[in-house]
Structure 1
Amino acid sequence: MGSVVDAANKEVNGTSSAKKPTVIFVLAGGPGSGKGTQCAYIVEHFGYTHLSAGDLLRAEIKSGSENGTMIQNMIKEGKIVPSEVTIKLLQKAIQENGNDKFLIDGFPRNEENRAAFEKVTEIEPKFVLFFDCPEEEMERRLLGRNQGREDDNIETIRKRFKVFLESSLPVIQYYEAKGKVRKIHAAKPIDDVFQEVKAVFSPEAEKVAGQWHLY
């Protein structure tokens, strides 16, 4: 009799009992950290699907949907797009994809994003991949690849870095307390950075996950 009840409960709570996808949050202090390049390598070498919160919002706007128009208007008015809107786009992308391993890039940006994501999706990330790159190095990289708009670039980096310290750092600290942060020293050359990334994704790293700490 119990087994019938259990089966019925599983049927009713299909979303809860179904195997949840593996999610890794990818965060960095600002543009020029190299996380986009590293995400592409992770996709190629480890079979993850890369989901960028920003790209999903832009695609929704481009689609001309009612939701997209709402997002566009909010951005134009300088308002922050509600967490639930971004989370629903991420959730839809996860559900429509045949993969079960995802890199979520550029989200959560703050504690409210984080709490809402876990509540709405009932998914807790496997870990947070944090690309730690000094502000000066990000400036140097962006100035090297974008000649002619140096002031704008530096201003953008400094604003993003300030926002990171105020909003995103608490997210890193929250997951660090749970032993879920993998810090990558992103100021090194691309191949050297990927060696660090590969070490994080190797089976051996899984066994000693509890020993990783921010420092």
Structure 2
Amino acid sequence: MQRKGPDRRALETPRAAGLAGVVFALLLAATIVLMRLGIPEGVEAVGAGGFTDSARRDAVRAALALIPFAGIFFLWFLGAVRAHVGDVEDRFLATVLLGSGLVFTATMFGAAAAATAVLAVAHPAGSAPSLTAWDFGRHLAYTLMTDYAMRMAAVFVSSMSVIGKRMGVLPRWLTAVGAVTALLLLFVSSNVPWAELVFPAWSLLLSAHILLVSGRRRRVTLT
């Protein structure tokens, strides 16, 4: 009986990581889509008058409501993954993984705060914000998300891929996908709109793999 408890916990940790990762990936993808639709870039964003559209304001409000939950599930995902690999991997990569995950979360919250400021200056009565305030808030939100948060996400993806390869817990194809994802987040996401969606896509793939492996181990143990 004493041996079953640790075995059960060892199986539940990666399964919890997978479930948290799936929820995080879906929430982050929804947040990015809503923010892109609510606070556009390029020609659409030159004037502030477009933000008086109630549909855009509602999209931004919905995104801002999702971000805290996305951060919570990401931290749960990060903690569960570290619990699964922390006793085996060297402290250098474990520290990089933890640090990049925490900075990503903090920067994502900073981008949300900047977007909140853009939304706030659209009042009173849905009037358009001044062009200076609109441009400042919009650029700050996108800079934090695409230049900083996504590059920290690239560090997180690359460190997780190296850990998975060294431990042999990730298949080669998923390691290769992680390398491509990290490169895209580092060099493309700040210049190509919607490119940041590769991060929730990678998180969804990793989470699905963790859930699949966890399910196989559970069946083997039960038999």
Q: Same fold (TM over 0.5)?
A: no
Task: Give the alignment's TM-score, normalised by structure 2.
Answer: 0.28
Structure having the higher helix fraction is 2
Normalising to structure 1: TM-score of the pair? 0.29
